[in-house]
Amino acid sequence: MPRVNPGTVLNNPSLAPVMSEAERQAFAALPVAELWDLEHKYDASIDACFGPGRFKLRSAMDGLVVLRWRREPVPMIARRVDLRERQDLMPAFMKDPGVFYEPDDPLQESKVSPEEYLAVLGDVPTLEIEGGVDFDGAVEACLELLENPRG
């Protein structure tokens, strides 16, 4: 299940089931800066929040977007990057496969290496979005990536 922060839940009505009304009121009362920095996660069941059939375990990947927004009054910048040249971005999306991952060899470490990520994602069109928070601009940049994946 995706992990979401309280600010995401407050701003997406479909995610309402993941927190109680009391929690919603408490988080809504926080200053935006404090809410933004809060490290409190909820598991969001896709079926419960968005309806059944919305989650696929396998799908083609048309692009990768790495968000590096800052809460500063600066312009948003979207640029295409090559992950082989920008491996500094990889910690933003590299995840431990979790307790349900069982490697073929029980002696093998359960972590996935950066090299294994690059083998799978190295040719995927990748977009880095940084600077100020601009949802409309990010949507436009993502749609451009999907419409013209090879730049």
Quote the mean pLDDT of the chain: 88
| Res. 53 pLDDT band, cuts 50 70 90 | confident
Give the start-to-end residue ranges of the domains of the chain. 3-50, 64-147
Per-residue pLDDT at 147 exceeds 60:
yes
Per-residue pLDDT at 100 exceeds 70:
no
| Res. 57 pLDDT band, cuts 50 70 90 | confident
Q: Residue 123: is it exposed, middle or buried by C-beta count within 10 angstroms (0-12/13-18/19+)?
A: exposed
- Residues with Cβ within 8 Å of 97's Cβ and at least 6 positions away in sequence, in order, are 110, 111, 112
